[in-house]
Structure 1
């Protein structure tokens, strides 16, 4: 079966703990041309906040997935396409490799396993909230990132390798190393994508470019630029440019 994300060039990640730019709506976000929405965040997650965003976004014709950071923020709603669950490969705290997931399975009897998928995260910005929470070892080079990507796919059967710089624009050589190591797994990239050029540059290496803070800080016009950059990069890759 073809993976839901197989043709996604661009994702908008919406943080339920943050607001949209004044005057903009979730309908505006859905109309940017992005391929999918991920709903989630590292801090401040509650079921009430998550439910509000899920209810608002599933009203439109776009795939919507929750990216859960804790079991208390997971909701089940009609129209939700599923769950993309981070497994942080370079976490220092094993809770973020298996512990959080065990708690979700233990406490939630309504998990739709047919719509639940994992993302093999490699966290690389030591100053980010996700790095601090997971105690991630971010002092790793391109060879090590490539090795993480390889074991994610080959040993653990991961179908998504997520290179996470969260807040800063990452090292394109590291992203390319991960992409070269992953044969069939899809490489997601997130971090510091703020305009067309940044999206285009990372889109030349990663399969899918993700923006998060941009939608909250700059708004839908800026997001639309990144959609164009990611899709232009994908088109050139397909043409062998």
Structure 2
């Protein structure tokens, strides 16, 4: 049986530390046509904020995952489909390969390993919060990124490789190189997706397009356009 993300064209990532557009609800977000919801952020996470978003989204029939951020804040509930745990392959701080994960396991005895999976991140926007926190080496060309994608899949057995430009639209050639390097792993792309065309362009190069800031900044109508773009590209 294949993993659920092999069928996803589009994900909405909701940051519990950010609000939605005035007048919009998590129900509206879940009804955009996206294939899955990820809940997580880099900063400002608390269990209460996470719980509120998870509870609101769990009332709707969309796959729901938590992606723990810097402080590994999670909630445990049967309404979740699972947990997607970032491992930053180009991190300068090795904590983001194993150290932060070790600490989460040490303090959390409720981890459901049957629903826990990892994402091999390649962080490429040097100005992003995630690059700062992980001390990521973002000075990478297409060959470098393809090599990271290859070792993530071939050496570390990663089923998801995530090229993350976090807030800025990435280099399509670099994303394509990552995709070409992979055999069976699913390629996620996130960063700067803001309309039909940007979603379509990256959807032609990655398996799954991830939209984050857009849902908080522009709202569900804009998200629906990206769903159409990613779906049409698949």
Question: Do Structure 1 and Structure 2 share a fold, with TM-score over 0.5?
Answer: yes
Q: Do the aligned residues in 2 keep the contact of 1:46 with 1:72 (CA within 8 Å)? A: no
**Aligned-pair RMSD on alpha carbons?**
0.7
Other-structure match for 1:75: 75
Count of residues paired in the alignment: 234
Other-structure match for 1:39: 39
Task: Kindly state the Cα deviation for residue 203 of structure 1 after the two structures are TM-superposed.
Answer: 0.3
Q: How many angstroms apart in 2 are the aligned matches of 1:157 and 1:72? A: 22
Give the secondary-structure state (helix, strand or coil) at the position aligned to 2:7.
coil
Q: Do the aligned residues in 2 keep the contact of 1:14 with 1:40 (CA within 8 Å)? A: yes
Other-structure match for 1:118: 118
Task: Kindly state the Cα deviation for residue 78 of structure 1 after the two structures are TM-superposed.
Answer: 2.3
Other-structure match for 1:107: 107
In structure 2, relative to structure 1, the CA distance for the partners of 1:70 and 1:108 (3 Å cut) is farther
In structure 2, relative to structure 1, the CA distance for the partners of 1:137 and 1:180 (3 Å cut) is same
Q: Indicate yes or no: 2:192 matched with 1:230.
A: no
Q: Do the aligned residues in 2 keep the contact of 1:13 with 1:210 (CA within 8 Å)? A: yes
Q: Which moved more, 1:65-74 or 1:105-114?
A: 65-74
Q: Which runs of 5+ in 1 are unaligned?
A: 235-241
Q: Do the aligned residues in 2 keep the contact of 1:203 with 1:230 (CA within 8 Å)? A: yes
Instruction: Tell me the TM-score normalised to structure 1 length.
Output: 0.96
Q: Do the aligned residues in 2 keep the contact of 1:189 with 1:210 (CA within 8 Å)? A: yes
Instruction: Tell me the TM-score normalised to structure 2 length.
Output: 0.99
Q: How many angstroms apart in 2 are the aligned matches of 1:183 and 1:96? A: 25
Q: Deviations over 1:42-68 (max 9, x none)?
A: 000111110010011011101000000
In structure 2, relative to structure 1, the CA distance for the partners of 1:119 and 1:168 (3 Å cut) is same
Q: Indicate yes or no: 2:185 matched with 1:180.
A: no
Q: Do the aligned residues in 2 keep the contact of 1:71 with 1:103 (CA within 8 Å)? A: no
Q: How many angstroms apart in 2 are the aligned matches of 1:227 and 1:60? A: 18
Q: How many angstroms apart in 2 are the aligned matches of 1:148 and 1:29? A: 33
Other-structure match for 1:62: 62
Q: How many angstroms apart in 1 are the aligned matches of 2:76 and 2:2? A: 23
